[in-house]
Copies of this chain bind each other. A is one copy, B any other.
């Protein structure tokens, strides 16, 4: 079930070519308020298909990945005269592709859809894996389907329309993929400058392609999340704990930042338990510190952080927490465990690396 991934900064042309290859069906664009303001003017200029499509503009943000907003989209699909043969083009970040993909997979028992991610996180994370969905009743992604888009058109040309925080959030997932894959990709990532808004978007595109292909390979090897896909959780056990902790202390942090810091914590654990090379750990920590700053914790926070890690994964044992860890760059190992004492020691080293100790 390999989906079509098109990497290009000639997005308008790519959309027109793709829709033409599908026999020029009736099309409907789903975007959000931000994309509609900052990206759609360019795309309407570059793509006849986009210019001639009905545009459904949703409210922006994860809190609008809701049943209310989905209901509005369904109604607007009816008003737009969408049929089962129409094609939806989702233009936006992960929220748009999640809810737009869910709308497409349920309208008249399923229409085709195309994803055009306009955020780095959307490109690297949401465009592969076939997950669609909405939040419901206070739970994230509670409702949804597994439905692959007909294709994803992946670019870097719209990234400078977004706040720098968005770019860094997505880049954290790319760093994770680099660590999971090999030293070459990892090295390129650490030598790339994220200085904003002057970063080199053309140079970023092939790096993004490498990164998406890492995820694609993992997902294809384990489409139904039975085992190996867990490698994609690397950095996320500690990262989610940081995120929950920050939320509980009324100073929420972006998911990608939490992942960047979580990757350091889990690389420390990898060093302690699987001999991950110390020199690569130091280089990585330095890169994250320079670009993301440091997430401040003290040793008094360890018990609540460790409790959050325990809740995040349904751990079978109360004594040990489950992690994906690395022997080296490109050598992940799922189902590793660490004790609270080991995690505490790792957080000590994290604070030391971040200059917090």
Contacts and interface: CB of A to CB of B under 8 A. Distances in A.
Nearest to A84: B225
A68 to B, nearest CB: 11
A110 interface: yes
A133 B109 contact: yes
Give how many copies assemble into the complex: 2
Interface in A72-111: 74-75, 78, 102, 105-110
B109 A131 contact: yes
A204 to B, nearest CB: 31
Nearest to A132: B109
Contacts of A141: 109
A133 to B, nearest CB: 6
Q: Which of A107, A131, A143 has the most CB of B within 10 A?
A: A143
Contacts of A64: none
A133 B107 CA distance: 9
Contacts of A139: 78
16 contacts: A67-B71, A74-B137, A75-B137, A78-B139, A78-B142, A102-B106, A106-B144, A106-B145, A108-B143, A108-B144, A109-B131, A109-B144, A109-B145, A109-B146, A110-B145, A145-B145
A105 B145 contact: yes
A199 interface: no
Q: Which 3 A-B pairs have the closest CB atoms?
A: A109-B144, A106-B143, A109-B146
